[in-house]
Amino acid sequence: MEDDPKVVPQPSTGSCRPILKIDSLQFESKFNEQHFLVGHALSGHPLFQIPRLLELAKEVAQKWPKDLYYDRGVTDVGQRWEAQPKNFPVDETIRNIESCGAWIDLKSAERNPEYAKLLDSCISDLLQVSGRQLKKKMRRTQMAIFITSPNRLSTYHIDSECNFLLQIRGRKEISLFSKYDREVLPEEEIERSWAADTNAAKYKPELQSHADVVALSPGIGVHIPVNAPHWVQNGGEISVSAAILYHWWNHAYANVYAANYVLRKQFQMRPTPPFQSKLLDTIKQPLGAAFLWARDARYGRLRQY
């Protein structure tokens, strides 16, 4: 288990106390490379009480149904997200969250103005530590809120966003793997995840020992880099957590991985991974961009990264 780092509060603009408390040395050495713990001041915040979250879930279900995911009864770390049909109301699920074995993801809570203001404060605190150069790389910021039944797990996956996962209520353990461990996460799985199937990363139980298992409790969070595999085991209480996410302006991840997916699948090549050759990455960019544009046009959706 990873040792708790010294979490040092950073100065924030204005007179308000910072919400995020990030060690600047940890940030400088590990950001988007390795996971590290952070502190936060959201525990007990009124926006994360169950009655208020029930109101938010109803609003999301009515106005932005594509931003809502929930399921019940998942017990397999490697199960695909869409394997459980949603044939039950989300408000009923939240009211019975203590006993129904559910996992609820309110994907874009910032669509509500109160949560948008809170997200802005978190991003401001992050920029105080990172420096304003990070803002130039941000395409979109996002707050996802997770409500989880006691003893429930969330399945193994990788994210295309930078993530600060903040534990607000309850306790959980998160198994975090290195984004660079190719025994755990082969290049083929990363390519497919970015290009064709967000569930492409496959859990390998025989490699669980490769993970750092990090305990999260109220007031503690963890930074999860892009492409770092992880899964979560909730404790014996209802859990509420928030993910502070941002998407990159830089399309290098998506375009180059998509190009490598095409080269491997269509031409049986073994392409060089991204970020090893600037020349090859530059050549691949338009191929990957064209593939992703055609994919999204086929399904009638906007490009997500």
Q: Give 107's contacts (C-beta < 8 A, 6+ positions apart).
A: 67, 68, 69, 142, 144
Strands (E), 107-234: 138-148, 153-157, 162-169, 172-176, 212-216, 220-224, 230-234
Q: How confident is the model over 17-75, as pLDDT tens digits?
A: 899 999 999 999 999 999 999 999 999 999 999 999 999 999 999 999 999 999 988 88
Q: How confident is the model over 111-162, as pLDDT tens digits?
A: 999 999 999 999 999 999 988 778 777 878 999 999 999 999 999 999 999 9
CATH ID of 20-248, from 3.60.110.10, 3.20.20.140, 1.10.569.10, 2.60.120.10: 2.60.120.10
**Is the pTM higher than 0.85?**
yes
Top pLDDT among 126 and 302 is at 126
Q: How confident is the model over 160-204, as pLDDT tens digits?
A: 999 999 999 999 999 999 999 999 999 999 999 999 999 999 999
Burial 11-46 (b: 16+ CB within 10 A, else e): ebeeeeebbbbbbeebbeeebbebbbbbbbbbeebe
Residues in the chain: 305
Determine how β-strand 138-148 pairs with β-strand 212-216. Answer: unpaired
Q: Where are the domains of the chain?
A: 20-248, 252-298
Residue 88 to residue 292: CA distance in whole angstroms: 34
Determine how β-strand 230-234 pairs with β-strand 172-176. Answer: antiparallel
- pLDDT value for 304: 55
List the one residue out of 184, 182, 179, 175 whose CA is nearest residue 212.
Answer: 175
Structure token pair of residue 43: 């525990």
Residue 170 to residue 192: CA distance in whole angstroms: 34
- With 50 as the cut, is the pLDDT of residue 11 above it? no
